[in-house]
Amino acid sequence: MANPTLDTMLTREKGAAALAELGYPVTKATLATLATRGGGPPYRRFGKRALYRFADLTDWAEARCSAPRHSTSEPDARPQRRAEVA
């Protein structure tokens, strides 16, 4: 896809292709499944078609990424609680 603007509306197929071009491996089937089960990017209906705003797709994909890591041995990015000393 040739440089969509943030407000460009994309079909599922073109939205998945745009994300894949950015390095996020998402298929149109994944977007369809998430539209029915929840957890996917926001979309609008235009007749029978689901349309995704390009900015919503990229925001959703970024939110699914972990924090940067330097090693596979690093713990999850979640803060660890310390046991209180009595």
The string of DSSP codes covering 48-63 is TEEEEEHHHHHHHHHH
Is the pLDDT at 73 greater than 60? The verdict is yes
CA dist., res. 60 & res. 52, Å (int): 11
Q: Quick: pLDDT tens for 8-40.
A: 999 999 999 999 999 999 999 999 999 999 999
Q: Quick: pLDDT tens for 41-72.
A: 999 999 999 999 999 999 999 999 988 888 88
**Structure pTM?**
0.77
The enclosing H or E element of 45 equals: strand 44-46
Burial 10-43 (b: 16+ CB within 10 A, else e): bbbebbbbbbeeeebebeeeebeeebeeeebbeb
CA dist., res. 5 & res. 18, Å (int): 11
